[in-house]
Structure 1
Amino acid sequence: MSETPRVLFWRHGRTAWNVENRFQGQTDIGLDRLGHAQAERAAGLLATLGPDLVVASDLERAADTAGYLGRAADLEVEYDKDLRERYGGSWEGLTGVELARRWPVEHANMDIPDGEDVAEVGDRMQAAVDRALERTPAGGLLVVVSHGAALRMAISRMLDVPDEQREILGPLSNCSWSMLARRRDTWRLMEHNAASLPEPVVLSDDT
């Protein structure tokens, strides 16, 4: 087995608020019917990768998504509240149209007046991933199940992308994932917003 660690960041399945384009934040919304189907399908694919550890946000939509992989891979899912979505304050429950009308400048910059600062989200996400990696076997696969904005912050931190440039990464669709692998002292983005398994990728591009 390769000693190169890998981290797969997996976004939860669809919710009714996703359909309505409502800001979810840390409001505890469950998966809708399609979201459960998405999670079950994706879990069957991801289980074939042989994950060693699955950690998830304790919010229902992420926890239930992770549960499908836990059952498919015969693993007990661990939960970490630091993997929750960015807290959205008074924005939670409002649609994108409503946010753009009430806070046009702030919404354009995703600057939530009474919400969680993006740097704080990055700090706690990074800490949660680091803790989980300490429990992941050498050369193993860690699966982190969380939320769209929080996952992009975690990926940006691991790739040393400044917080203010986090939008360089496109969004993650419901139940899609990104894969990072470490080479020497650098994390590399191997897949982003994937929903199917690619052909094996050779990490070295020197030959």
Structure 2
Amino acid sequence: MSDTRRVLFWRHGRTAWNVENRFQGQTDIELDRTGHAQADRAGRLLATMEPDAIVASDLRRAADTAGYLGRATGLRIEFDKGLRERFGGSWEGLTGVELAERWPVEHARMDIPDGESISEVGDRMQAAVDRALARTPDGGLLVVVSHGAALRVAISRMLGIPDEQREILGPLSNCCWSVLRQHRGMWRLMEHNAASLPEPVVLSDDA
């Protein structure tokens, strides 16, 4: 296994439900006009990093976001259902205020009574990223286009952070990304919730 591969985790652009603070889950919501503009800008920017592979959730908001990068690079996009957002059951479509009123205890813990558990999300996200990495060349850059909650769990898993401590990582904003890089057999977080290209590191902490 290469010790120089990178994975860029990219959240989809904005949707109307993002604006309304509605729990999207696996409801197939489209990007709004701002979301398309965000994905166009970010896609052209990320293309300059010369990714080697792109894999995306098949939900439209992620698939359409990935499409901007695919067109900018000429790369074929692979779609993997394992990269979908956390299934929210009866929470999907409700606002944060409504959830807090109806399920105050569960909402505070983000414990969805009839939804998917965080461990289940982590297992399928980790498997999907592993499948994509197996198709990524040594020294290459893999772009994973997915959803806010699912991405935070995936990043935590790769960094060895327990699922219940995933909130150590701040959330990802619409169309922002995080970059992980392999170093001596482990993954390092190089950028988080970024919207600009990473600056080169002149001196490492173990130089």
TM-score (norm 2): 0.97
Helix, strand or coil: the match of 1:197?
Answer: coil
Helix, strand or coil: the match of 1:188?
Answer: strand
Report if the CA contact (8 A) 2:177-2:194 is conserved.
yes
Name the CA shift for 1:126/1:203 in 2 (closer, same or farther; >3 Å). farther
Once residues 203 and 127 of structure 2 are traced to their aligned partners in structure 1, the CA distance between those partners, rounded to angstroms, is: 26
Are 1:56 and 2:56 counterparts?
yes
Counterpart code for 1:61: R
Match of 1:5 in 2: 5
Match of 2:174 in 1: 174
Q: CA deviation at 1:199?
A: 1.7
Name the CA shift for 1:202/1:157 in 2 (closer, same or farther; >3 Å). farther
Name the CA shift for 1:124/1:203 in 2 (closer, same or farther; >3 Å). farther
Structure 1 portions without partners, runs of 5+: none
Are 1:200 and 2:200 counterparts?
yes
Helix, strand or coil: the match of 1:165?
Answer: helix
Report if the CA contact (8 A) 2:179-2:191 is conserved.
yes
Report if the CA contact (8 A) 1:62-1:147 is conserved.
yes
Are 1:16 and 2:16 counterparts?
yes
Helix, strand or coil: the match of 1:173?
Answer: coil
Match of 1:118 in 2: 118
1:76-116: CA deviations, max 9, x gaps? 11100000000000000000000000000100110000000
Report if the CA contact (8 A) 2:3-2:185 is conserved.
no
Match of 2:30 in 1: 30
Helix, strand or coil: the match of 1:192?
Answer: strand
Map 1:75-114; keep pairs closer than 5 Å: 75-114=75-114
Helix, strand or coil: the match of 2:18?
Answer: helix
Counterpart code for 2:81: K
Report if the CA contact (8 A) 1:3-1:140 is conserved.
no
Counterpart code for 1:190: M
Once residues 59 and 111 of structure 2 are traced to their aligned partners in structure 1, the CA distance between those partners, rounded to angstroms, is: 23
Once residues 46 and 90 of structure 1 are traced to their aligned partners in structure 2, the CA distance between those partners, rounded to angstroms, is: 36
Structure 2 portions without partners, runs of 5+: none
Q: CA deviation at 1:198?
A: 2.7
Name the CA shift for 1:127/1:19 in 2 (closer, same or farther; >3 Å). same
Helix, strand or coil: the match of 1:51?
Answer: coil
Are 1:162 and 2:162 counterparts?
yes
1:119-168: CA deviations, max 9, x gaps? 00000000000010010000000000000000000000000000110111
Helix, strand or coil: the match of 1:42?
Answer: helix
TM-score (norm 1): 0.97
Q: Give the root-mean-square deviation of aligned CA atoms.
A: 1.1
Match of 1:149 in 2: 149
How many residues were matched structurally?
A: 206
Report if the CA contact (8 A) 2:6-2:142 is conserved.
yes
Counterpart code for 1:81: K
Match of 2:73 in 1: 73
